[in-house]
Chains A and B, each alone.
Chain A
Amino acid sequence: MADITLTAANVSISGAQSAIGIAGETIAAGQPLYIKASDGRLWKAAATSAAAAAVVGISMSGGAAGQPIPYTRQGVVTSQTDTYGAKGDAILVATAAGLLHSLDTDGPLAGGEFMTLLGFTTGTTTLLLDIRPNIQVI
């Protein structure tokens, strides 16, 4: 199964406590983000490096580089129909920037990549955020 893209227009988040950061690139609602040390801005997270996999939250709406983006690291993210295969899946940051990866459906990440847990599915359209520090896959 391919990495998971949350459809921005279907993303809503309940129980969130938002923060605001400045986008370093174009960002859409429902994308995991990290803060790049060199510019202090929000960029789409990816499992390709420890820095890019250090997720600070999920975007709550979108914008272009230089615009303020609300994001949260807690809450329940609702998205489009059949986003996930089942409830109880562990959802990780994908190798592709800004996308999600189902551990149960897609299997583990490749060796050398960085595994960041975003949370667990509570249904086929809902994700309970529970973001944890990343660890490198051996």
Chain B
Amino acid sequence: MSKQYIQVSRITVTFKKSIAIAAGVLITLFSNEADAQVPETFIPSSVNSELIVKTRTSVNDDAITLQLSENIESLADCLNEKFKISCNEDQNCTILAPAHQFLMEISPSIGAEKATLSCNIEYAAVTHSLRLPHGFMLTLTKPMDTMDDTKVMFNLMRNRKLLISDVVDSSLLKEYIGSVIHKLG
């Protein structure tokens, strides 16, 4: 764990103001004139919000149960605030999303353990890293960074070593992952 310097960061003050744009219609705008500066104090943080599959996960049309390795805020940010996330004290969280936003399911059978994951490709804002059993890590990257929305970047790593890196048509992703798993035995 990196050494952390905890200091009092600069105080930034924002003023928000509700403004009527029509009779009975209020919007809130923020003052852009407060004297804010780039904070001087940083803390190290995880590069990726990682989702760790707890056990065999139960999946229905609109819910997944996952155990999180990161704080909820960063996860929510990772998932682009499209999902409703609720967690209990053990950090077992349920992520809800409209069923149609789940464009695929991955069912890898790596080793003795099995896990079923769902991942939203269409709205993923950043790289999703999914930690699989036995040191495998799967990352899927949003098409926002490509010219073609149908493409998704697929990376499979094990113990930080890149095994496979490819660009895959999202409609073929499930089939592609199936072939990868088959090759891995």
Partners in one complex: no
